[in-house]
Chain A
């Protein structure tokens, strides 16, 4: 398939002919958003507004117990898990469930939940910074429930810092995303409905570090 075609040169020539206004680079973004004095408090508040459930844990053991509790609330069916030693250990608590690891392939259509890690958490918007390295692209979107295991030292203040962190990943991951809550739509009479196509439910197990 062509990656360069005759139209390319013609379009570029037309662009070069046009005189652009001398535009100065954008100024500092600092004054645009208010300061976030307590990122953790802000993160929790934003998650609440996003309808993301955050479960705080102080140890691995407690995280495993929380996972087990979340999973017990889900209907029967397989759980798709990012293949990572930490998550494998957590999954011991849900041994009775069918577990599919990401190393075995992509998230199946009918899994009831996915469990992944993330690259960061964003206080400003209550978002999860993720990428295709975490269970693939489908790991965070295919199932009706997405469970994320994160640690408090992953908390970032704002979207700009998340993008700075993501910039390091652009060579390695074909997909990077900020997830801010569950899938939703307001296309019918502006009434908000959760669970349009992606997860209806997003749970973060947040372990103290």
Chain B
């Protein structure tokens, strides 16, 4: 087992036993579920909306090259710069160069998972640049020195009391009470100074619209608007898969993203930005850069089976629905993107050997498949990853042998009966001589938290016949 797999198991076991964590997540997810159920009623046909969204994103994934070129052409025509970054390192380097050339001392950043993916903050801070997260949830986790817990709600795991204590310690001058409103007001006061002082704003993108040549950004707080309006330089960092063909597609994608993300009809600020301040405009940045990141995405694209993962619009719905995510929390995964989508993508992008274990952090309940607004068959991808993980040789020998026996036995009723008979015999004998169930191979993890039931003498089939099908 890889070190990362072991760490995952330990973190997962700890988190799932943490009752406060469970209660916090349950409260959050319950209110999310209610909002989403209500939000879906605004559609005449939610399934048609999913089909439409899946088709638009599918069309884009199949036509990435011409769409990205069209997008680039339009941005450059408005005086913006487009940089194609092959790796995280490339992207970091470019953004650091832009910051250095502009003599940047403070950066305000709106929420972007891609900046997490490329570890941008430490790189900028190494240059002596102060970076402030401006999304409230992101600011909270930044002040706690930890990564976001969820791709849409970064501080989902914290209670108001924990946030109050944090602000009291870190933002004492801006604190003026401890209600939800007053905590938000404290962050507002604190960040306002940052917005007006910053020389550079960094944002992600929800969509890149090819025919309009504009970047679409959705936020509720307006932090994205301030980040992209006030500083002299604006840098957008985003994955190449974010491109969509037409502006009009947002007529469906915006409501679908908002409904799946938070249950809202549309995000408060649904914004399109096409470049630096244009002639005749009173404000806006003087420099505008878009960094288009590959970082393993073309590898996903090269896999015909799995390329549909690039349709993901990062709505977070699959995380909220996933029973594993809800028990072990976002941090146990130790990945930029946790939950089903992260478990599907990370092993492909970062290596099966180190990350393949995440494909097993799934009960195959398929709840994620049923909520994904772009109809990605997440459970299928997790299974596919398991197959690769085993065939690429990192599974335990005992597991391989076990499953070959199982496969052999389930191929015919007689074999199955024989294996059952043999299994019952061995287990009964082992327990009879006082062996602990914890020592019994696959039973070990099952009996860790549960009592071992008595092993019956007879098979299910024998009991069925004896009782004439009546139990």
Contact = CB atoms under 8 A, between A and B. Distances in A.
Interface of A: 1-5, 7-8, 10-12, 14-27, 29, 31-35, 46, 50, 102-103, 105-107, 109, 124-125, 127, 132-133, 135-142, 158-160, 162-164, 166-167, 170, 172-191, 193, 195-199
Interface string B104-122: 0000000000000000000
Interface stretch (B212-220, B334-342, B407-415): B212-220
Counting chain B CB atoms within 10 Å of each CB, the highest count among A29, A177, A190 belongs to A190
Contacts of A35: 44
A176 B212 CA distance: 11
Given A27-B55, A188-B163, A18 B302 contact: yes
A109 B196 contact: yes
B180 A193 contact: yes
B283 A138 contact: yes
A137 B273 CA distance: 10
Contacts of A14: 294, 298, 301-302
B245 to A, nearest CB: 8
Interface in B64-94: 64-65, 68-69, 72, 74, 76, 78, 81-86, 90
B298 A11 contact: yes
29 contacts: A5-B83, A14-B298, A14-B302, A15-B65, A15-B301, A21-B61, A24-B59, A26-B55, A26-B252, A27-B51, A32-B44, A33-B42, A127-B270, A132-B278, A163-B250, A163-B251, A175-B271, A177-B271, A178-B266, A180-B266, A185-B184, A187-B153, A188-B163, A190-B153, A195-B184, A196-B136, A196-B184, A196-B187, A196-B220
B108 to A, nearest CB: 10
A119 B181 CA distance: 32
B221 A32 contact: no
B62 interface: yes
Given A25-B59, A179-B269, A160 B136 contact: no
Contact of A187 (B43, B48, B154, B211): B154
A177 B298 contact: no
Interface string B277-302: 11001111001110010100010011
Nearest to A33: B44
A158 B292 CA distance: 31
B332 interface: no
B229 A7 contact: no
A17 B294 CA distance: 14
Nearest to B163: A188
A79 B159 CA distance: 38
A163 B247 contact: yes
A159 B214 contact: no
The size class of the interface chain B forms with chain A is 35 or more
A8 B84 contact: yes
A23 B265 CA distance: 28
Nearest to B153: A187
Q: Lowest 10 CB-CB distances: which A-B pairs, in order? A: A198-B222, A20-B62, A160-B251, A196-B221, A136-B282, A106-B283, A137-B229, A14-B298, A8-B84, A187-B137
B223 A197 contact: yes
Interface centre among A15, A26, A107, A109 (most CB of B within 10 A): A26
B146 to A, nearest CB: 15
Contacts of A182: 268
Nearest to B214: A170
Contacts of A158: 251
B226 A198 contact: yes
A32 B254 contact: no
Nearest to B301: A18
A186 B181 CA distance: 10
Contacts of A170: 74, 212-214, 247, 272, 274
Nearest to A179: B269
Interface string B15-47: 000000000100110011000000000111100
A132 B275 CA distance: 11
Contacts of A166: 247, 272
